[in-house]
């Protein structure tokens, strides 16, 4: 399975996730809020706290900069396909983070 197929399979496995677009890139959302995206053969996750720091330490991982103009998004970590074994776990954590944000806002 290639990177985009892996991304799609993982996103579809997250309960209540919907395929959508973010900055013209494919993403998965829960209740209108993005938690994962696909960019440059990597999966991108909205993370916070120690899991964000841990993901950022993976070889080749970096802060997501969709514009390419040196303005990365602080909560979004781009994790390369080389770490696809971590993608399902990170997607589940990112989805839970987005769900918890939604709950706090209500």
For the segment 57-103, what is each residue's pLDDT rounded down to a tens digit? 999 999 999 888 988 888 999 999 999 999 999 999 999 999 998 65
DSSP H helical ranges for the chain: 3-13, 49-56, 87-105
Burial of 65 (0-12, 13-18, 19+ CB in 10 A): middle
39-49 confidence digits (pLDDT tens): 999 999 999 99
Q: What is the pLDDT, as a whole number, of residue 49?
A: 94
Tokens 């993370």 found at: 47
Burial of 43 (0-12, 13-18, 19+ CB in 10 A): buried
Instruction: Please compute the mean of the pLDDT values over residues 5-18 and round it to a whole number.
Output: 96
Q: Could you please state the CATH topology (level 3) that the domain comprising 3-105 is classified under.
A: 3.90.1150
Q: What is the pLDDT, as a whole number, of residue 6?
A: 97
Map out the domains of the chain as residue ranges.
3-105
Q: What is the pLDDT, as a whole number, of residue 21?
A: 94
């Amino acid at each position: 399975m290639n990177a985009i197929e892996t991304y799609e399979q993982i996103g579809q496995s997250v309960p209540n996730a919907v395929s959508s677009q973010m900055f013209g890139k494919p993403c998965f959302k829960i209740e209108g809020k993005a938690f994962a995206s696909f960019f440059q053969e990597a999966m991108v996750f909205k993370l916070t706290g120690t899991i964000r720091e841990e993901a950022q330490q993976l070889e080749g991982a970096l802060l997501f900069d969709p514009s390419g103009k040196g303005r990365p998004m602080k909560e979004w970590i781009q994790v390369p396909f080389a770490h696809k074994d971590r993608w399902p776990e990170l997607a589940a954590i990112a989805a839970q983070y987005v769900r918890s944000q939604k709950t706090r806002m209500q």
